[in-house]
Amino acid sequence: MSHFINTGIARIAHRTTLASVLLACAPLCALAAAPQNVVATSTAANTQANNSAKSEARSLSHAFRGAAKRLSASVVTINTTSNGRAQQQQQQGPARGTGTGAVISKDGYIVTANHVVADADEIELVFEDGRTASATVVGLDPGTDIAVLHTDATNLTPATFGDSAVLDVGDWVVAIGAPFGLQQTVTAGIVSAKGRSDVGLATFENYIQTDAAINPGNSGGPLANLDGEIIGINSCISSRGGGNDGIGFAVPSAVAQRVVNDIIADGRVSRGWLGIGVQPVDDDMIASLGCDSASGVLVNSVARGSPAEAAGILAGDLITTIAGKKVRTPGELIAVIGEREPGAIITLHAVRDGESQSIDATLGERDDAKQARGMKKSPEMKQQLSAIDKLGFTLKELTAEEVTQLSPMADDGALVVERVAPEGPAALAGIEPGDLIRRIGSRATHTLDEATAAIDALREGSSMPVLVEREGRAQFILVRPMAEAPANRSRSRN
């Protein structure tokens, strides 16, 4: 989503008839003829309503003022310098940026956004009273866009974290930061939505959405309730022109506080890992899997030796809830898992072959440094060919050893696409030569016989969900019969 941008880097460049008149006067004449006590009563009522409105407005104003005063002493402007490559520095000079942070302890710990300081070589803090101090990075968590800094400055006023779980849509919130370098800027708005995921800026997204004005330079600053407690760390905005469009996103305090505590304690974040790949589904895909669920995410891969494999989760399972929460998008599922500690037992409900399943899985520990192995061509591939006309491609059968060299997920024999018929069902769906075919319909396909049996078992004219693995990533692709396939369908690219 290209119009979502981080908000942490701010660079500053320096005709009237007689009848109508009579009609208009009529109410005034009537008013003059009215008893004086009626007029007095009406005036008193209007005055009372006006005073009441003023009182409510002053009360809200005082609430905003109080929240800003309680929090402002804890908010720091973060100025960064990134030297970058020597050649770039010589030609353009060092890159400078501005963001925001919040002091969270008297001994110098500060929370901000990861993207504000991730590339910084020098970090300067500017406090509310004008003092400056340097800071160092304690730890970074790109998965949530949270970072922790430390400073040796003294006489610090720490802010407190509030409970983001009690927030509701419509609640007032206050943001404090340095938009475009304008330090200690206070804006107010409401909570527009909760649990926003799939924004596309971080791995674990569970954002609070707000219409409080947030602009470049606000990133890393606090989003607070009317008690002046931090209930979110501002991370990004939706902007088509670089400024505020009324949609901002903050990492909830429930997430940020856990990340901060882990970084301070261990310098890193420990989070749960299940070991599955998932994808969104539409009504056609759900129907093709024999499910009647209205929502869910489809498992398209299970890592070898993973907690998911041990729990019996299979590719083709449609996960509908996890830890008691309904799942609508992959981002929602990933966020729930990532918020759990390794060793936690998590319960999933899924639909498999039209039947409901309840699965308990014990989470492992996520290793963000672990990379899926890329697929490499093997010159010793077995050249067993088969033409499967219903799908419009030719397959080769591989041994378990060959599959191990190609796939980080498959643990048995598999089939690789040798050729794809132009404008055939497979080609129109986006299947390409070199793809591994691991499943057709509800059946695993380790051999050509299994692939043929899987296709023969499908109802004539029905769409076929095919599990395709490409470059270490798996995805279900719906292959439609020729009568259904759109003539100008664009190819799906992973």
Measured CA to CA, the distance from residue 48 to residue 180 in angstroms comes to 43
Of the listed 74, 219, 239, 306, which one is catalytic?
219
Kindly report the backbone phi and psi dihedral angles of residue 326, in degrees, each rounded to the nearest multiple of 5, phi listed first: -65, 140
Q: Tell me which of 145, 262, 317, 435 is the catalytic residue.
A: 145
Query: b/e for 278-301, b at 16 or more Cβ within 10 A?
Result: bbebeeebbebbebebeebbbbbb
Structure tokens at 100: 């925001």
Residue 145 annotated as catalytic: yes
Catalytic choice (74, 115, 253, 306):
115
Residues carrying an active site annotation = 115, 145, 219
